[in-house]
Amino acid sequence: MTVAAEGSPPLRMAGARRNPLLQSEAVQGFALISPTFVYALILLVLPILVVIAHSFWTQNYLTIDHTFTLENYRIALTEPIYRDLLWRSLYISLTVSLLTVALAYPIAYFISFHGGRHKSLWLFLITIPFWTSYLLRVMSWKVILGYNGVLNSGLMGLGIISEPSDALLYNSSAVIITLTHAWATFAILPIFVSLEKVDRTLVEAATDLGDGPLRSFLRVTLPLSAPGVISAALIVMIPTVGDYVTPKLVGGKDGVMIANAIQAQFGKASNWPLGAALSVTTMIIASLMAGATVLVIRALQRLAR
């Protein structure tokens, strides 16, 4: 509560012009949220600042040299391995986001417009797999795609292939399939929420004015659900850029992503500043890509209208 007291003076000053009731409301509200706020400051903001600070330092064996340098960023951006890993991570994450959104949209549309009284049952069915362990979901793909796995033995049993294919597992396609499956539900929910907000009378109006179902969908429903598409794309894109488990389990040599390199810098390679610079670079580039995606979707939305 001392923290709340520290935080309240500026608020009190800001609220001084307003009536006393409002002022005490603001102070109470801020005091109530401050423990959670401070927790997020200490365990999220402070750590990220420490990472940013480290990215400008260097490491000599076990001691950190605190002189400012951009050397880590030079390595992160120009060293071929890191550049390739970063590109691959961006490519995989972009592909996965496009796939999940494209696959999820019809489902969200179906539930929102044709779900009827089973709407909540559909939503429940779709959210349940999302609550199961991510690690287990990735593991099940290893079981499916493996050399001695479900798909290979199934295809052999059906006589489609004569010997197991090793092309299924340990490459970037395996990573893309697994991630698309793992993030599927994340994309459905935001799209569903924005479709629910689409004013049905607008769709009817478009139909009354002579638009066919496809035209009214393209010109009314789709543009109006763009916010949901944007948040779905972002929710999938940013975390998948930094995914660690999937490339490690099903990616093999050709599916390694930037997070694996970052982890190595904090583990075996033990070069914290380089790992920090790689993390910061990944975050910045992922945010840029996310920003570009938002702009593209908005432009398409204007075009459709």
Pick out residues in 169-188 that bind other proteins (CB under 8 A).
Answer: 181, 184-185
Cα dist from 73 to 21, 40, 57, 285, whole Å: 51, 27, 10, 13
Q: Which of residues 136 and 303 has its CB atom nearest to other proteins in the complex?
A: 136
Report the residue from 85, 86, 90, 111 that binds other proteins according to the rule CB under 8 A: 111
Which residues from 18-37 bind other proteins, rule CB under 8 A?
22, 25-30, 32-33, 35-37
Cα dist from 84 to 78, 116, 118, 180, 228, whole Å: 10, 48, 46, 22, 31
228 lies in the site for other proteins, by CB under 8 A: no
93 CB burial (10 A radius; 0-12, 13-18, 19+): buried
At 224, the amino acid letter reads L
For the bound state, the minimum distance from the C-beta of residue 302 to other proteins, rounded and expressed in Å, comes to 25
For the bound state, the minimum distance from the C-beta of residue 223 to other proteins, rounded and expressed in Å, comes to 19
Quote the tokens at residue 146: 């493996």
Which residues from 61-80 bind other proteins, rule CB under 8 A?
none
Q: Which of residues 88 and 137 has its CB atom nearest to other proteins in the complex?
A: 137
Which residues from 279-298 bind other proteins, rule CB under 8 A?
279, 282-283, 286
126 lies in the site for other proteins, by CB under 8 A: yes
Cα dist from 252 to 79, 172, 266, whole Å: 21, 8, 20
Report the residue from 5, 46, 205, 269 that binds other proteins according to the rule CB under 8 A: 46
Do the Cβ atoms of 57 and 66 come closer than 8 Å? Answer: yes
For the bound state, the minimum distance from the C-beta of residue 152 to other proteins, rounded and expressed in Å, comes to 7
For the bound state, the minimum distance from the C-beta of residue 158 to other proteins, rounded and expressed in Å, comes to 10
For the bound state, the minimum distance from the C-beta of residue 181 to other proteins, rounded and expressed in Å, comes to 6
For the bound state, the minimum distance from the C-beta of residue 247 to other proteins, rounded and expressed in Å, comes to 11
C-alpha closest to that of 248 among 175, 143, 180: 175
H-helix or E-strand spanning residue 37: helix 20-40
Report the residue from 107, 202, 218, 264 that binds other proteins according to the rule CB under 8 A: 107
Q: Which stretch binds other proteins (CB under 8 A): 70-78, 219-227, 278-286, 293-301?
A: 278-286
CA 17 remoteness from chain centre: 42
Site string (128-157) toward other proteins, x via CB under 8 A: xx-xxxxxxx-xxxxxx-x-xxx-xxx--x
DSSP-derived letter for residue 256 is -
Do the Cβ atoms of 238 and 290 come closer than 8 Å? Answer: yes
For the bound state, the minimum distance from the C-beta of residue 83 to other proteins, rounded and expressed in Å, comes to 19
Q: Which of residues 87 and 110 has its CB atom nearest to other proteins in the complex?
A: 110
Do the Cβ atoms of 89 and 282 come closer than 8 Å? Answer: yes
CA–CA gap between residue 236 and residue 257 (Å, rounded): 16
Which residues from 231-260 bind other proteins, rule CB under 8 A?
234-235, 238-239, 241-245, 249, 259
Do the Cβ atoms of 172 and 85 come closer than 8 Å? Answer: no
87 lies in the site for other proteins, by CB under 8 A: no
